[in-house]
Chains A and B, each alone.
Chain A
Amino acid sequence: MAIWIEEDAKVLVQGITGKQGMFHADKMVEYGTNIVGGCTPGKGGQTVDLQGNSYPVWNSMFEAIETTDADATVIYVPPPFAAEAIMEAADAFDQIKGEGVVVCITEGIPTLDMVKAVAFVENRPGVRLIGPNCPGIITPGDGGGAKIGIMPGHIHAKGRIGIVSKSGTLTYEAVAQTMSIDEGQSTCVGIGGDPVNGTGFIECLAAFEADDQTEAIVMIGEIGGNAEQEAAAWAKENVTKPIVGFVAGATAPPGKRMGHAGAIISGGKGTAEEKFEAFEAAGIACARDPSELGAVLLESLKAAGLR
């Protein structure tokens, strides 16, 4: 089953005529994602060539969803316009289908724009926002699958490990670690490194817990905020599947933003140590070195009788 995104999900690309949008749309098609077209206001009626095939462009998300019955959209729109792109997609999905997945890759959206956009999406309960400032979501299939984002598709394989992470490349590292012990992934979700974002850890854990295909979970956090601590406490009560965790930023100095807008220890709060402790208290098996995630996962699978 996988979570939220089926292997054959119909996907739109917002900002498909831009450099980033076109580049990644092409990579998604190459991977096997069922791209059904894109949206760029003012460029409706044009087509975009991806992997030798022609894809339609619409002026609005309402038009695009009406026509294609898309299940999801991925946003590669520059920061000044990204929050509005999220809201346009959410509104269109809500009005036309009552549901839909909005994946926002854009980095650098003003925080107060996201406060507004998240509140807007939360008023449309059927719509799920993933990101922003994230690698996206991927559900590997048997030959292809649904890659909605910027992650390198070829490192993945279909399997039973669910991965959720705030970081991009560190997620790829986690994927490679599962592959090193011959395990594939059900779905990998990058929730993003911004202080205010859509889907959080807890929603991912709940979905993985409910998903038949997923048998174990890898959760990658980083310094800043307390989403990891809350997720750990929630998991202790609600998740029966084994969870393996890592938190980046144990050596980060306080008060300094470490690349991601949200990765900052403020007022002594949100340290990696605090998060590791919360993980351990919740029975999450921790790796202190991401190169050991595979080994720790293997141990956990064995302990659960899954290997």
Chain B
Amino acid sequence: MNIHEYQGKALFKQHGVKVVEGVHCTSVSEALDAYDHLQSKVVAVKSQIHAGGRGKGNLYSPGSRDLVMEGGVKIAFSKEDVGTYSENILGNILVTKQTGEEGKLVNHLYIESGCDIAHEYYLALLVDREQKSVLVMASTEGGMDIEEVAEETPELLHKLNIDPNAGLLGYQIRDLGLALGLQGAAHKSFGKMLKALYSLFLKEDCAMVEINPLVRSSDDEMIALDAKVSFDENAEFRHKQWDDIRDLSEEEDVEIRAKETGLSYVKLDGNIGCLVNGAGLAMATMDVIKLYGGEPANFLDVGGGANEEQVKTAFSIILEDPNVKGILVNIFGGIMRCDIIARGVIAATESLGLTVPLVVRLAGTNVDEGKAILAASTLNIHPADDLAEGAQKIVELIGGEV
């Protein structure tokens, strides 16, 4: 789960990570008030969306798609500037390298005091899957695309793994600070920040905290000028407060509804809907559709113990996508019995009045009963014995070339 920069910074402040003063706004008048409140000659006017590359992005009018302004993060030198930039940002679509062409509607702004920057750094904490521990990454090359830094100048990207038993140790902090060329007050300020960030990371169940840029001010203080924070959704049960900061407008409505019914759904661009049990098999089903010349319209895992109702919800979610021209159901029954799935498929197709071709592949527990139920129905359901046959059939049925 991602949060906005302004929310991340509030969290930073709460945990003692130094940030500059800023105000979250949702209207131009609030932005103008914020300027007065901050008492800073120069302020940054920052679009708040859950995607990176905002500074280099462009804003477009949602109706006409006309270019409104270049750059989703602007430096304002006057109250007038703040008005103009806020006007150009709020209610418009920001397209960045990470949003895709459709971009994202900007509903939130962050107005932040200016900061006297001596140098920009990069700092991130994340879970290292291979080392099974929290990893700190830091670089003197702040403000840049960190993947490029890792690719082109890996010696400038410093890493340290934190032993979960020992925690973040003093020498690790010192060494990392020195590797970044920090001295004196700046080195001390960095150590304080890193400790605070690690404690925040653990307490808040973060998946990632990324600060790009982290800056050293002219008076040698380390300040988080950006805040990209994401949480581990598995830990939601112990963070009820996440409900209040989750911005649902940033998430796909249908993916949220799927999750509420215990389904895992991701929309894709193709035209063959799929309904599968198990995440690995669901991915493999998409892959095989593509292998035989089709394009999957979605990833959908109904889980290990889906009931008739969930199968029906799954069908209705798939059919909401107007691109869907056919559906492939692929079930390997383990706990889930094929006869139950077969009944669910029939009930769903009848009640939803399914008109697109449907191929059903059943295997595993009670497969013969399941197949018999499908064969006895008068509905236009095409059976398949294995995944390859299922994929070929659905591709043919929607008029593709196998």
Contacts and interface: CB of A to CB of B under 8 A. Distances in A.
Contact of B238 (A80, A135, A170, A176): A80
A144 interface: no
A257 B387 CA distance: 23
Contact of B280 (A109, A220, A291, A292): A220
Contact of B335 (A150, A230, A291): A150
A84 interface: no
Interface string B233-246: 11101100000000
Interface in B277-301: 277-284, 286-291, 296, 299, 301
Contacts of B282: 258-259
B363 to A, nearest CB: 6
A219 interface: no
A272 B165 CA distance: 34
B365 interface: yes
A67 B279 CA distance: 39
A115 interface: yes
Interface string B114-141: 0000000000000101101110000000
SS of A interface (majority): loop
Contact of A166 (B280, B363, B386, B388): B280
Interface stretch (A31-39, A48-56, A89-97, A261-269): A261-269
Contact of A169 (B266, B277, B287, B291): B277
Interface residues of A, number: 65
Interface string B340-380: 00000000000000000000000111000000000000000
Contacts of A154: 365
A225 B280 contact: no
B386 A291 contact: yes
A236 interface: no
B132 A118 contact: yes
Contact of B237 (A79, A169, A250): A79
Given A193-B279, A259-B264, A250 B287 contact: yes
A260 B264 CA distance: 9
Given A251-B290, A259-B282, A172 B268 contact: no
A135 B335 CA distance: 11
A46 B63 CA distance: 67
A168 B280 contact: yes
B154 interface: no
B127 A168 contact: no
Contacts of A259: 264, 278-280, 282-283, 299, 301
B207 interface: yes
Nearest to B295: A251
Given A112-B205, A253-B266, A258-B266, A227 B129 contact: yes
Contacts of B289: 251
Nearest to A110: B235
Q: How large is the interface on B (under 10, 10 to 19, 20 to 34, 35 or more residues)?
A: 35 or more
Nearest to B145: A267
A283 interface: no
A230 B237 CA distance: 34
A152 B333 contact: yes
A167 interface: yes
A111 interface: yes
A152 B334 contact: yes
Contacts of B291: 288-289
B169 interface: no
A272 B202 CA distance: 31
A263 B98 CA distance: 19
A255 B2 CA distance: 12
Nearest to A170: B280
B332 interface: yes
A267 B284 contact: no
A259 B299 CA distance: 8
B147 interface: yes
Interface string B263-280: 010101000000011111
A110 B205 contact: yes
A306 interface: no
Interface string A71-97: 000000001100000000000000000
A106 to B, nearest CB: 10
B232 interface: yes
Interface string A119-137: 1000100000000000100
Given A118-B132, A250-B287, A258-B282, A168 B334 contact: yes
B83 interface: no
Nearest to A197: B132
B234 A248 contact: no
Interface string B154-166: 0000000001110
A173 B281 contact: yes
Chain A CB within 10 Å — which of B279, B286, B304 has the most? B279
A170 B278 contact: yes
A119 B134 CA distance: 12
Contact of A248 (B205, B284, B334): B284
A109 to B, nearest CB: 6
A226 interface: yes
Contact of A227 (B130, B278, B284, B290): B130
A304 interface: no
A215 interface: no
A112 B278 contact: no
Contact of A249 (B207, B234, B283, B388): B283
A135 B332 CA distance: 13
Contacts of A267: 147
Contacts of B335: 150, 152
A251 B303 CA distance: 20
A181 interface: no
Given A150-B304, A169-B280, 15 more contacts: A80-B238, A110-B205, A152-B334, A152-B364, A173-B387, A224-B129, A248-B283, A251-B268, A251-B286, A259-B264, A262-B129, A288-B291, A290-B387, A291-B387, A291-B389
18 contacts: A115-B133, A119-B164, A152-B333, A152-B334, A152-B364, A155-B364, A166-B280, A167-B278, A172-B332, A172-B334, A173-B281, A220-B280, A251-B286, A251-B296, A258-B283, A260-B280, A263-B280, A268-B147
Closest 9 CB pairs of A and B: A167-B280, A259-B279, A169-B278, A170-B280, A110-B235, A248-B283, A291-B388, A169-B281, A152-B334
